[in-house]
Amino acid sequence: SQTIHQWPATLVQPVGSPLSLECTVEGTSNPNLYWYRQAAGRGLQLLFYSVGIGQISSEVPQNLSASRPQDRQFILSSKKLLLSDSGFYLCAWGGVTDEQYFGPGTRLTVT
């Protein structure tokens, strides 16, 4: 069965520091991969999606970037964090009828 991992689970970082969040998927090949940010009362905001290695689409101009160095690895990065980057970040992969399977998420607090 398919499994999706995210780490770290929680992260506290100072403003201006770099960020790297990792997501890996097991049990499927060539998945569509997604990064979302979840804010209370505002649902999920799609940040990036990828349909293959090295292929990244950005949905929202922001302080973040994404990369897909391997088929089942998706990384969310920032060179310099802002306070507004705080939030709950979810990685997901897409099923054959477009359903999403989510990881456990990373709670990021920028101080």
Footprint of another protein (CB under 8 A): 32, 34, 36, 38, 41-44, 46, 49, 51, 57, 59, 90, 94, 97-105
CB of 79 to another protein, least distance (A): 26
Closer of 19 and 34 to another protein (Cβ): 34
Look at the block and give the residue holding tokens 């990244």: 56
Closer of 34 and 74 to another protein (Cβ): 34
Amino acid in the structure at residue 36 = Y
CB of 46 to another protein, least distance (A): 6
Backbone phi, psi, residue 28, to 5°: -150, 155
Contact 81, 17 (CB under 8 A): yes
Long-range CB pairs of 43-49 (<8 Å, 24+ gap) are 44/90, 47/76, 47/89, 48/76
Closer of 38 and 86 to another protein (Cβ): 38
CB of 18 to another protein, least distance (A): 27
- Alpha carbons 9 and 21: distance in angstroms, whole number: 9
CB of 86 to another protein, least distance (A): 19
